Structure 1
Amino acid sequence: MRLRRGWAAVWLWLLPGIAWTQDGDEPPRTPDLREAAAAETSNAGVSSAAEPETVEPAVRKWHYLTRLEATTWTLLPRTGVGVETGFVQIEPLVVIDGGPEFGINVGAPVRLRLWGGGEGAGLVRHEDWDTLSDWGQLFRGLKFGSDNAPLGVWFGALEDYSLLTGHLVRRYSNRTNPDYHPAGGFFTGTLGPLYTEAFASDVLGARLMGAELSLDVQHVLFGQPPEKGRYTLALSAVHDWGRAGGRAPSVTLAHLDATAIVVVRPGFEAHVVAGWGGRPGEGDAWGAVAGGGLDAVTPTLDLWLRLEVRHQHGGFRQGYFGPDYELARFRAAGPDGLPLAEARFPSGHSAYGELKVGWDAVSYGGLQRHLMLTLGVEAFTWGRFDVDGRVAVQLFQRNLELAVKGLGVGMGKPGARYLGAAEGRWRFLGGKLYAMGTGGTLLFPGVEGTLRPGAFASVGLGVDNAR
């Protein structure tokens, strides 16, 4: 069942490529180059004679990547400082890939001040390393196991993360706050008919934590089925302690879901889902959802689509912990100027759609695609409209990579919030050297729940052994 897609983030953060083709877009189900090579090795070992030769098991191959980037960087980095500050950013990176069930990605940007910053500003940008949670950014990715293993663990940045059915945690990022750089983590485990996923947005601080338990109903009633996870009941609960990355009100949500995969064909699945959720201790805060989706895979295309109709009541909403949450926990979009846990959210209905597409013209077996697109849209009956998405393309024999991402929350109402950014990389001299440039907007949480706008732009060079 392809609702279990959390390990996509693992591979995309461990492999080289443009930053926003790596933040949670779903990977194709076509085998990667190592799997293809292993299959060819196994097939080559089978003789056409009557007595086939003994086939030696494929030897695990280790892969590695080293990278160094140096860019200029301009932003509004310090609370109370109204002038731009210039930095040079040095970012080393080391990746070790030991196969489907082990990988490590270590490296973090170090910003050294060139000008500005006001009185008392140090050489290194203080806000990047002033809390214990910020030291989590050293680990961009560390994985043990996979979704196909009985147990799996992942630590690193969470980008576009959804907790299984996604009705509480959907397209969430723990790095939306520019001054907060935690390492998140999630655990997956399978025991008979029970599948579990638990996560923490900050493994070094008391912040967002949750879990979802998914029960294979067919397995319970009739024994182990030929296809796992076709009919499931799932219970999820998420709690925000609100103590790391800045103080904010705590909140708890829970949700119950029933899912059935109604069509299964080679390269195609279709499912329906229905659920109900609420805020424990607040009986008037609840919501319901019903919808369906499909998952299609061809040698060149990986398509995932979800459409839902939702009802919200008493301040509860599906996707509460979403792409804007690390800002909304201080100040929700809208005119109230209150944290999300205290802001008024009108009762009503909404329509939600989510689309993820990976396409490659040459049926490339890896994760880097000519086109990677992910988009989430929700329209409410009382006039609000939310959208977030990102698109990345590779051109000219993959030498040019371009990516654009955007977020709009509360559109159509006063106090709407907008964020956007773009990045480009151009490889030359055989592909080991590349020029890069980025730019976009930021929001810095300040005192008393304020959000201070800022902008950034950088240009520079990088070198790696990716090619």
Structure 2
Amino acid sequence: MSMRWAVVLLLIVPGAGWAEEIAYPEDYVAEEEVDPDDAGGDALIEPSEDERDALVEEGPASPNSGSGWANRLSLETTTWALLPRRGAGKDEGFLQLHPRLEVVKPGFLQVELGAPVRLRMWGGEAGGSLVRKEDWDELSDWGQVVQNLMVGGDAPNFVWVGALESYTLLSGHLVRRYNNRGNPNYNPAGAVVTGMLRPLYVEAFASDVLGARLMGAEVVLDVQHILMGRQPYPMKYALSLSAVHDWGKAGGTSEPMTLAHVDGTAILMSRRKGQGGFELQANAGWGGRPGEGGAWGAVAGLGAEYMSSTVDMRARLEGRLQRGGFRQGAFGPDYELARFQVAGPNAVPQADAPFPDGYSAHGELILSWDAESLSVLGQRHFRLSMGAEVFNWGRVDVDGRLETQLFHRNLSVGVGGVAVGAGQPGARYLASGDARWRFLGGKLYAVGQGGTLLFPTAEGTLRPGAFASVGLGVDNAR
């Protein structure tokens, strides 16, 4: 929840939330990292000079570091089986090849290119193509070639392109924990752009850089800066305005929708010690659907953060009020499916679906722990990210993911799931899991994945399915 920590924005590639230890130059010391779901919440604000010195200490240049560039090459070869559920569809099997190339100049540029290519082995329609066509049948699908692109490593000014797996736009009252690849046949690359010109901080995003889909921005005003001039610790009192619009013209056609929100944030308590500390925030806001009379909502809550060299904990608890069909966090983890058909008894798109008047309690917890240090990018012995919302009329929405690294980080395991509309007819449940075991010195690894899926159809319904994948990979990460 902090609005002051320095950021390296590293959005995790889908299905690859592992401890990949790329061989960075010897003189590179990682900046304090905040994951995208944390960073989108409140953390993308420039630190003070004292904090910057505490977070990054320059070491002497190593003669072996050369120009400071690092790279990683990898290739995964797996079988990928697509299985129907409840008799919907036919079994399909593919040989999946997933090459990757990553090039890094710490603090300046990070590029990772690659995409899974699925070659048909069995099943499917007679005379079907060798390559699974649903993975490449529209312009937006070519965005998946860009696994990760980051330009400008110093917060708060940078550009990032790639998959948005659990993206939150700053205050999180419009876009929270959003996944732009929730539709398994739609593989766009999203983009996030941030910048600060005191007393303003801006974050803008697009869910699809090659299609007219979800776009939005949030502008934050440092009120204390306006009243008292530049302060050592910015954003103690802040006002923000956010707006998000979905054109609905990529990844399948859907009705356009626009939401807007105004928020105020105040830091009630701040205790700092070395590279860590504790912070307590209060927030309140109001939002609605422009052009839709009577569609509005209000929110108020508290947020807390504790950070040390080995622990990063962020929590939020809010009370929310909904009226006229508006709800906070409408662009959430289920949105890429709900834009075609919402969970619940009303089988209609979210833009047209009625949402009962009422109130709810929303909570979120993001906890990272590492026995050695959190300063190395992607290194986490344990990470839990979970959000839940309980409505007074009986509905419950929950999503989360748990990741752990064991046996000297040779084994990585992750499980995640989404439950939407639990407690109501037509509830939606999705789950997945993955594991990776490194052996022979870590260069070779075995990988397995599996889970359930929902595929949008031409009729606007959702067809249930499942997938399973197992195979081997090799890289020069260690």
TM-score by length of 2: 0.88
> What's the offset of the Cα at 1:363?
2.8
Q: Distance in 2 between matches of 1:5 and 1:411?
A: 36
The secondary structure found in structure 2 opposite 1:257 is: strand
Question: What's the CA shift string for 1:197-224, capped at 9, x where partnerless?
Answer: 1111011111001010100001111111
Which of 106, 116, 132 does residue 109 from structure 1 map onto? 116
Which of 200, 206, 219 does residue 213 from structure 1 map onto? 219
The secondary structure found in structure 1 opposite 2:459 is: helix
Aligned length, in residue pairs: 446
Q: Which amino acid aligns with 1:130?
A: D
Q: Distance in 2 between matches of 1:443 and 1:19?
A: 29
Question: What's the CA shift string for 1:118-162, capped at 9, x where partnerless?
Answer: 12311000000010000000001111124624x321111111000
Q: Which amino acid aligns with 1:405?
A: G
Say whether the 8 Å CA contact 1:6–1:163 is kept in structure 2.
Answer: no
Q: Given the alignment of the two structures, is residue 203 of structure 1 paired with residue 214 of structure 2, yes or no? A: no
Q: Distance in 1 between matches of 2:337 and 2:14?
A: 27
In the TM superposition, 1:131-142 aligns within 5 A as: 131-142=138-149
Say whether the 8 Å CA contact 2:76–2:471 is kept in structure 1.
Answer: yes
Q: Distance in 2 between matches of 1:133 and 1:5?
A: 33
- The residue aligned with 1:48 is none
Question: What's the CA shift string for 1:280-315, capped at 9, x where partnerless?
Answer: 011200000000111111121110001100000110
Q: Which amino acid aligns with 1:250?
A: P
Call closer, same or farther: CA 1:254–1:206 in 2, change over 3 Å.
same
- The residue aligned with 2:173 is 167
> What's the offset of the Cα at 1:166?
0.5
Say whether the 8 Å CA contact 2:201–2:221 is kept in structure 1.
Answer: yes
Q: Distance in 2 between matches of 1:449 and 1:14?
A: 25
Q: Which amino acid aligns with 1:10?
A: L
Question: What's the CA shift string for 1:208-242, capped at 9, x where partnerless?
Answer: 01010100001111111111111110000000001
In the TM superposition, 1:19-418 aligns within 5 A as: 24=36, 26=38, 39-41=58-60, 61-76=68-83, 82-146=89-153, 148-149=155-156, 151-266=157-272, 267-363=277-373, 365-366=375-376, 367-418=378-429
The secondary structure found in structure 2 opposite 1:176 is: coil
Question: What's the CA shift string for 1:324-356, capped at 9, x where partnerless?
Answer: 000000000011100001111101010000000
Instruction: Give the unaligned 5+ runs of structure 2.
Output: 22-33, 45-53
Identity %: 58
Q: Distance in 2 between matches of 1:440 and 1:14?
A: 13
Q: Distance in 1 between matches of 2:7 and 2:148?
A: 11
Q: Distance in 2 between matches of 1:212 and 1:105?
A: 27
Q: Distance in 2 between matches of 1:321 and 1:15?
A: 21
Which of 450, 472, 475 does residue 439 from structure 1 map onto? 450
Q: Which amino acid aligns with 1:256?
A: V
Q: Distance in 1 between matches of 2:382 and 2:67?
A: 30
Say whether the 8 Å CA contact 2:37–2:177 is kept in structure 1.
Answer: no
RMSD over aligned CA atoms reads: 2.8
TM-score by length of 1: 0.90
Say whether the 8 Å CA contact 2:216–2:245 is kept in structure 1.
Answer: yes
Q: Distance in 1 between matches of 2:155 and 2:338?
A: 35
Q: Which amino acid aligns with 2:138?
A: T
Say whether the 8 Å CA contact 1:6–1:164 is kept in structure 2.
Answer: no
